[in-house]
Structure 1
Amino acid sequence: MSYKILAVLATVAVAHARPDSPPIYGYGAPGPAFGPAKYDFNYAVNDPPSGNDFGHQESRDGDFTQGSYYVRLPDGRLQTVNYNVDGDSGFVAEVSYEGQAQYPSQPRAYTPAPTYG
């Protein structure tokens, strides 16, 4: 008798776990009601004491994305990357540099962080 109950429970478990059954928990995949992607953002950081100088700007409307980002390199040059993506054409980037690379005659000495306590 216990084998029959076990067989019935196993059949119910298999039928319930079929991939074509609807999910029990959570939400389904997003439908077409959301429409094509459309956004625009930018940010920038410029902190002279630390030497950090970088930023990013990007906008997208449907399948077309364009943007740029820049960073101040350790040698003093400013590297800028302008890019775009149009559908399945792939990522197309143009990299440019401003300024001349500067190298110190003496490397900077390491200064350990202060300790407290």
Structure 2
Amino acid sequence: MFTKGAVFLVMVGLALSAPSDSYGPAKHQPTYKEEPTPYQYNYGVNDAYAGTDFGQTEESDGKTVKGSYTVQLPDGRKQTVTYVADHYGGYQAEVSYYGEAQYPHEYGPPITFKPQSYHPAPSYAPAPSYH
């Protein structure tokens, strides 16, 4: 009976000593937060053959992010979204359109790309150096 009681007390002690949230951050370790880093980038794609035209510009001082992106819509207009985002005001965007929407009665053939076949380079066989 004494061994059963001792085993029971050891089991209870182990259960109470285990952390309640084993996946959370350790309470004895300090947390590290990186300083905000300013950045700036932009990109653009304009492929007349495929009808693709879009781009984005964005910059940040480490606290506030400002930028805009544009995309050519299927109806012929260009959509521009200008935005500002920070931890206090959240994400605020303004959407504008350039051009007039056009809806033709007849459409041209769809844009298709011909598959390219693979032609490996001929293997090189050196000529023998002896006669």
- The answer, yes or no, to whether TM exceeds 0.5 is yes
1:106 aligned onto 2:106:
yes
Matching residue of 2:18: 16
Aligned pairs (5 A) from 1:4-43: 4-5=6-7, 7-19=9-21, 23=26, 30-32=31-33, 34-43=34-43
Equivalent runs, 1:24-103 vs 2, <5 Å:
30-32=31-33, 34-103=34-103
The 1:114–1:51 alpha-carbon spacing in structure 2 relative to 1, beyond 3 Å, is closer
Residues in 1 aligned to 2:70 and 2:86: alpha-carbon distance in whole angstroms: 21
SS at match of 2:101: coil
CA RMSD of aligned residues (A): 3.3
Q: CA deviation at 1:56?
A: 1.4
Distance across 2 between alignment mates of 1:99 and 1:65: 28
Return the TM-score normalized by structure 2: 0.62
Using the TM superposition, give the Cα deviation of residue 29 of structure 1 relative to its aligned residue in structure 2, in angstroms. 7.6
Overall identity of the aligned pairs, in %: 38
Distance of 1:80 and 1:62 partners within structure 2: 24
Structure 2: runs of 5+ lacking an equivalent: 116-131
- Please tell me whether the aligned partners of residues 50 and 111 of structure 2 are also in contact (alpha carbons under 8 angstroms): no
Write the distance in 2 (CA, Å) between the matches of 1:13 and 1:58. 52
The TM-score normalised by the length of structure 1 is 0.68
**Number of equivalences:** 110
| Higher alpha-carbon Rg | 2
**Residues 57-93 of structure 1, C-alpha deviations (whole Å, 9 max, x = no match):** 2111232110000000001111111111354123332
Structure with the largest fraction of strand: 1
Distance 1:107 1:22, change over 3 A: closer
